[in-house]
Structure 1
Amino acid sequence: MSSDRYAQLIRYVRLARGLEAEGFYGVAKLLWGLAFADEIRASSAEPLPRPHTTLDSELSALIDSLRASQKPEIIAALERGQQAARENHPVTYEDVPEVAVCRYCGQLFLGHTPEQCPACGAAHLTFRQFRPVYYFDPLTPPQALAALENGPQHIQRALDGFSAQQMTQPPAPNEWSARDLLWHLLIAQELLRVRAEKILDEHNPLLEGVAAWDMTSQQALPAGEIWERYRESRQATLERLRAAGDAWWRTGWHSEFGSVTLLDQATYFARHEHMHLGQFAQIRHAVLKR
């Protein structure tokens, strides 16, 4: 990021914080949005680091640059996360627990969140909590249900016109084919079904994290059968969720995310699925034009 662009980003944030402090939340919201848009554009100027490219080396360089300025427990958590990425398995909640930052002085808390910020005295309810991924951004139960109900229609439209051969053609080397992506969504849907049933039927059950991204080549099922399994699993899940009532707020303990509600899990998988719709569009553009 250039110095001018960095200065503009800080200007957005300073003005947003000042407007929030005076109660002008509407325009502060817009400035936070402008700041985030700049972050995305600046970080997209070069290809994102991925496991098969520069992820490990870039993370190592970052950790080394932080050793003198960050607390040992933060460095240790980063190193545990890096090791999990190297071994291609989920980062557990024990490896990297809750993360919060004081909105007034920038103090970062890892794991235990104090009642007050020891640096500036701000109360803990003012801290910014960092969830593991934006898939947890809140939805209401009706919104989560609607997204899960509409998902199969969106996927079916995305796959319209693919031949059986085209379903297995990746858009580029080391990328998923449409069949691979459909298999991934079946794995995710089955995770949602099993976890929803456990939360509804058990008291605060353990929900094991899995590397769903690494489970595309373990089945040779044709795409049509994958699709039917996906639809059947989604329908069974929706039947349980529609009858959930107050059970939306029942909890489970996720080995990667910590405490999650039934609504958290429905929201997570709804947003995850919609994220992949754009990937279907990219595959479609690359494969059908050949």
Structure 2
Amino acid sequence: MPGPGYPAIELVGVSYGYGKDLPVIDDISLSIPQGQWVTLVGANGCGKSTLVKLMNALLSKGEGSIMVKGKELQSDTIGDIRKAIGMVFQNPDNQFIGATVEEDIVFGLEGQCLSIEVMEERVNSYAEKLGITELLDKHPSELSGGQKQRVAIASILSMEPEIVIFDEASSMLDERTRNDLLNILSDMHKSGRYTIISITHDAQEIAASERVLVLHEGKLIADRTPTDLFQDEKILEMSHLIAPFAFQLTTALHRYGVDISIPNCEKELTEALWPLHSIK
């Protein structure tokens, strides 16, 4: 298996449109290294979901070329590429197949023609990792929104894809459950096993990622670090994004001559401000 830095996904001149309308995706070229966590942002309708569905061959490719794990997306490679990419959707109810959580996880594994022993091991392993072991016998309708999202993630990860796409997976969750999802994403990233692409409007999720790709009217208009993105008011406005509170406050303090490093979270901001409060 190629190591970190090897391209997991490469797009060259990719365009896509529906009928005679203007292209939803317009001449996009980019490369995502293996192991990177990328957030994909932009206003509603800018083409984010269309772009990731092209990567996963859920939509037929238009113009340009798409390479996944070194294989060009063509009719004879679709099967291998779909095995390499897992996708977690906005509404987990759309992913449920089985009558119980366990059946739901097993469904995808059966499609991989795995042995019963391997399937049992994966069900138990990923249920434990996602904290849903006690839910295995429950019907999906008995679960809370956060539990459903954990089950959906377990179902995808149990198939052991190398690339995982989260399509606005946090948008229907409350703040506590969004934080839980963010912790899951962070743990996945730290493991080094996954290339993560998350479509999101959540500032904390963007801040935790390594890289931000910004779409506007089907075009890739920015490729930034989260810190650089949050300093660009024009891009934020175009993307309908608001910088995290810790970043906003730090930027305001800089204008008043208070020189502290830009924090990744409010905890880091508090730690940076406390010594200033103690100065007499």
TM (normalized to structure 1)? 0.30
Highest RCO, 1 vs 2 (Cα 8 Å, sep ≥ 6): 2
The structure number with the bigger radius of gyration is: 1
Structure number with the higher helix fraction is: 1
TM-score (norm 2): 0.31
